[in-house]
Amino acid sequence: MNNHPIKKLSVHTIGCRLNQYESEKIAAQLYPYGFQRALAGENADLYIVNTCTVTHRADSDCRNIIRRLARQNPEGRIVVTGCYVENDPEKISALPGVDVVIGNAEKDDIASILPRKMPELFTVKPDKGCSSLVSDFYDHNRAWLKISDGCNQWCSFCIIPAVRGRLKNRPPREIINEINNLVAHGYEEVVLTGVNTGHYKYHKEKPYVKNLGALCRLILKETDVHRLRISSIEPQTIRDEFINVYAEAQGRICRHLHIPLQSGSSRILKLMRRPYDRDTYIRKVTAVKEAVVDTIIGADVIVGFPGETDDDFNHTRELAESGLIDYLHVFSYSERNDTPASKMADKVHSRVIKERNAILTKISNQLRFQSHQRQIGEVLEVISEHKKTADGYYWGISGNYMRVRLPGTINYGKKIVKVKIHSATPEFVSGDVISTH
């Protein structure tokens, strides 16, 4: 890079893997202007806060982070972007310390917006020798890649289509080129992410891709990525072609799928405007597990949706305990203004919601422990995530999404290591490193 003043950049991300990717995309656009990432606890010249608004708690987390940054470094400039900006720009703009708000539609133009808004931080021309491609995920050894944005589904409880817009799929050639760039920078796992990845298709230019399964097949053919992970896939979008390529990949597509359920009651799913019923969910997940028998399945579940009776909840509980699902992300219903669900009667009492959340969380913990116990004696391929400073162990994620405790003597970075598992706890599995591939 050219010899120009180094400015410190601090990026704070709330929410989904899609936000994680977009935060790194923003950072990559700013590096050519002389910005470097600030270390933990170090003051920065510029703060980027990429927000989430999926629940009231997410909104609160975003506001708390912004206030904390403003207190810690009153001289730093704060830019806020993301879904909360789309949902309530006035509230964000009014927070002390916020200098600029940028909507989701303008995220890709941040490198042209900020020099106009903050000329004192952009005193030099961008270094043309500094690539703006996403080639590094700060403090992470796995990479995320956005294949699509937006959603056309309009579930009755969700505001994401309102803040992210309609479904837009990226050209497959862009995706292939970006994965090859990430592989060239040492990443051995790439996570495909989007609001609704299962609806991927692209017909505007060659190579034409008709669905997510075809995209995965193309990626496996035209890149050397060691393993590909699907961040989340809606049950009704799981097609035969995806199941076939998943089985044929022999582990290059991670043996782990997160398939949102939301409710085990077909009646509640209909009220939620989810485009599947209980039987469809069971059929799709069963097909996946039959194709690759040791697949780990995760599911999102909402408890306390308006009108959810004890009988509805018991349908969810029974499905959770059936053995089809290996862990749950349990969410208490969070009312979002102007959604159809917010206008529904028969609201569930907060005490009942809390009780139901606790029941499913306990079930999920038991399921995780059982899946951990099944790994004893198995050899897992693991990428280290970070070091747990309290006792010196490294933590890693396996291809089938096990949290693995690694010996603390070596930091393997982005490299996949083979670990033979010898013990399991409810929180993690432990093993010995037997080789690197």
Question: Residue 335 falls within a domain, yes or no?
Answer: yes
> Cβ of 315: how many Cβ atoms within 10 Å?
19
Q: What is the CATH number of the domain that holds 386?
A: 2.40.50.140
Are 149 and 237 part of one and the same domain? Answer: yes
**One-character DSSP codes across 118-163:** -GGG--S---TTS--S----TT-SSEEEE-EE--S---TT--HHHH
Instruction: Give me the pLDDT at residue 437, please.
Output: 63
Are 387 and 419 part of one and the same domain? Answer: yes
Instruction: Give me the pLDDT at residue 238, please.
Output: 97
Are 111 and 205 part of one and the same domain? Answer: no
Which helix (H) or strand (E) segment holds residue 256: the answer is: strand 256-258
pLDDT in tens, 231-254: 999 999 999 999 999 999 999 999
Are 173 and 80 part of one and the same domain? Answer: no
Are 416 and 402 part of one and the same domain? Answer: yes
Q: What is the CATH number of the domain that holds 364?
A: 3.30.750.200
Given 92, 121, 150, the domain boundary residue is 121
Instruction: Give me the pLDDT at residue 3, please.
Output: 59
- The two beta strands, 7-13 and 77-82, are unpaired
Given 230, 254, 278, the domain boundary residue is 254
Instruction: Give me the pLDDT at residue 23, please.
Output: 94
Question: Residue 266 falls within a domain, yes or no?
Answer: no
Question: Residue 274 falls within a domain, yes or no?
Answer: no
Instruction: Give me the pLDDT at residue 412, please.
Output: 86
Instruction: Give me the pLDDT at residue 4, please.
Output: 62
Q: What is the CATH number of the domain that holds 217?
A: 3.30.750.210
Instruction: Give me the pLDDT at residue 1, please.
Output: 45
Are 105 and 168 part of one and the same domain? Answer: no
pLDDT in tens, 205-214: 999 999 999 9
Report the DSSP beta bridge partners of residue 418: 381, 435
- 246 CB-side CA count, 13 A: 25
Instruction: Give me the pLDDT at residue 135, please.
Output: 87
Q: What is the CATH number of the domain that holds 66?
A: 3.40.50.12160
Total number of domains constituting the chain: 4
Instruction: Give me the pLDDT at residue 391, please.
Output: 74
Question: Residue 280 falls within a domain, yes or no?
Answer: no
Instruction: Give me the pLDDT at residue 304, please.
Output: 97
What residue type is 217 in one-letter code?
A: R
What pTM value is reported for the model?
0.92
Give the dihedral of Cα atoms 357, 362, 367, 373; nearest 10 deg: 150
Phi then psi for residue 12, to 5 deg, are -125, 125
Are 181 and 100 part of one and the same domain? Answer: no
Helix axes 240-248, 212-222, angle to 10 degrees: 30
Helical residues (DSSP H) of 252-408, grouped into ranges: 266-271, 278-291, 310-320, 350-373
> Cβ of 247: how many Cβ atoms within 10 Å?
15
> How far apart are alpha carbons 167 and 161 in whole angstroms?
8
Domain that includes residue 391, residue range: 379-436
Low-confidence residues of the chain: pLDDT under 70: 1-5, 387-389, 409, 437
